Structure 1
């Protein structure tokens, strides 16, 4: 039985690939192409990053399945330390490494004879939206950026905390480092979601926790390699790293920010829109919460994405 959350179109070919990032870690990816593609020609390409804590078999496969039918070569991937990609210990998160994963995808695509190196874009879902933008700040080979339900994890790490609470958080994480070191550098990892999918979301959960469970913890989006969260001390670098401090340097390459009108995360996209330089666009999807842009093909504006990419990658 397939562990992808959506069925592969009969018109699409999906091939599992592996390639290194700049740190020598092998990244596990899937390459999607239309079966009718003429491999003697060169095509525009797109790299799709999973929600923070997600894997390529979840939201990315939904986007890749659709956009490959619209004329794009699409690469999905598991972040290093996640899914089928290399990296030990497992479930480690890093703003630098997760940003680098997008540039590693550019490396891989640019070596394919049927990909036009001058027409490569990135699309990040949720936390990958922040990493995609971060990569575009420094990697000028990325010609356009699309985000869906974007999260900036460096902002999220401090969000809603007073200076006193931030200090307390740092002290707890520092104490956890001692525990991890004493344990032979096997860092603490506490998964958020169950090993097997639930039939329904526990009624006692409040928002936005219940929303995460509406995707990751039930059959809709559950995956055994995406049980939520990262090693406890993975939060440390996000307290010390501003992912999006150079947004203005993406211009004149275009940015499309897609967000649901009911998304709890809407302010992240609105903040980026205010700070980024033209050309930029904020596209609000009606009647959509944050997770609806992971997999709901009746909400994800594929026509808008196609038009944006084809215009941007001319």
Structure 2
């Protein structure tokens, strides 16, 4: 079962974790955790990493797993709850937005780059699942981000616009948008916000599709459960992702390096493979044998921490 403090992992004795908060440029208060290695003098300036949660996830889950490990390897690491989600501020709850979620990464750079114990010229990003596309999108225009790792990336704008494996027809998309438009009228006149279906079903049975089964085995079971991670967003959020693509300027990141990490059996691997082809130099694609999409959220025997350490140390020198 998860620990009583709702983190899904045990904090290393070699790491400190501090709860912090700051505002993004929209004035939303961001709830975050700051991880630091105990073995390093307070006078030392360390490279820093920002770890973004999967789409629908929170900082106490996979981001904390990564932060706990990378702090042991000599990095200061910041994890955060996205705006309008988790313990971060913002109303209506569980809203999502391409601009807001990309801004959250730049706001994290604002915060961590002004810490006296951080070398602001050595700041990198790890984006898990949807945060892979948000972190890349931020790096397109925020040159303070010197290197990006995506893990099991979902391009959320492409997913909303085209469906899984780009299978959404124009007729299906138009019908969906018409339904959302009618829901906006209802909400404007007082109805409660409609929510998308839960991405990770609580009840997993013989009729549950393989992707739902995979997400449910993490988010809806003790392995990854957190009460703030409902894997749902307001229905009216979706059109923004259709209208505003996240990765149109991916080549602008070059020559800053990108490492795309995917599981061999990940249902999402085509997002990373296609982004890899779009990206400029320097870039690398790493396939983890035997892993699926969600395995790389928390399975420390599969997550390539040695590679992440070498990648960022190489990028920062």
Separation (CA, whole Å) in 2 of partners of 1:86 and 1:206: 34
Q: 1:121 to 1:261 in 2, by over 3 A?
A: same
Equivalent residue for 2:272?
Answer: 269
Equivalent residue for 2:58?
Answer: 55
Separation (CA, whole Å) in 2 of partners of 1:267 and 1:110: 33
Q: Which of 153, 167, 182 is the matching residue for 1:175?
A: 182
Q: Which of 114, 127, 130 is the matching residue for 1:127?
A: 130
Moved more, 154-163 or 49-58: 154-163
Match runs of 1:106-145 below 5 Å: 106-145=109-148
Runs of 4+ in 1 over 4 A off after TM superposition: none
Separation (CA, whole Å) in 2 of partners of 1:300 and 1:281: 16
Residues 53, 131 of structure 2: 8 Å contact kept: yes
Equivalent residue for 2:69?
Answer: 66
Match runs of 1:153-172 below 5 Å: 153-157=156-160, 158-159=162-163, 160-172=167-179
Alpha-carbon shift at residue 179 of structure 1 (Å) = 1.2
Separation (CA, whole Å) in 1 of partners of 2:195 and 2:22: 27
Alpha-carbon shift at residue 203 of structure 1 (Å) = 3.0
Q: Deviations over 1:68-91 (max 9, x none)?
A: 000100000000100000000100
Equivalent residue for 2:152?
Answer: 149
Alpha-carbon shift at residue 55 of structure 1 (Å) = 0.2
Q: Which of 88, 92, 95 is the matching residue for 2:91?
A: 88
Separation (CA, whole Å) in 1 of partners of 2:226 and 2:48: 26
RMSD value, Cα = 1.4
SS at match of 1:252: coil
Alpha-carbon shift at residue 121 of structure 1 (Å) = 0.5
TM-score calculated relative to the size of structure 2:
0.95
Equivalent residue for 1:282?
Answer: 285
Does residue 303 (structure 1) correspond to residue 306 (structure 2)? The answer is yes
Separation (CA, whole Å) in 2 of partners of 1:105 and 1:293: 23
Residues 199, 215 of structure 2: 8 Å contact kept: no
Q: Which of 174, 189, 192 is the matching residue for 2:198?
A: 192
Q: How many residues align?
A: 310
TM-score calculated relative to the size of structure 1:
0.96
SS at match of 2:210: coil
SS at match of 2:16: strand
Separation (CA, whole Å) in 1 of partners of 2:199 and 2:257: 36
Q: Deviations over 1:153-191 (max 9, x none)?
A: 00100222111211111111111111111116x422256
Separation (CA, whole Å) in 2 of partners of 1:191 and 1:223: 17
Q: Which runs of 5+ in 1 are unaligned?
A: none
Alpha-carbon shift at residue 47 of structure 1 (Å) = 0.2
Residues 193, 217 of structure 1: 8 Å contact kept: no
Residues 193, 216 of structure 1: 8 Å contact kept: no
Q: Which runs of 5+ in 2 are unaligned?
A: none
Residues 199, 212 of structure 2: 8 Å contact kept: no
Equivalent residue for 1:247?
Answer: 250
Residues 47, 76 of structure 1: 8 Å contact kept: yes
Residues 197, 232 of structure 2: 8 Å contact kept: yes
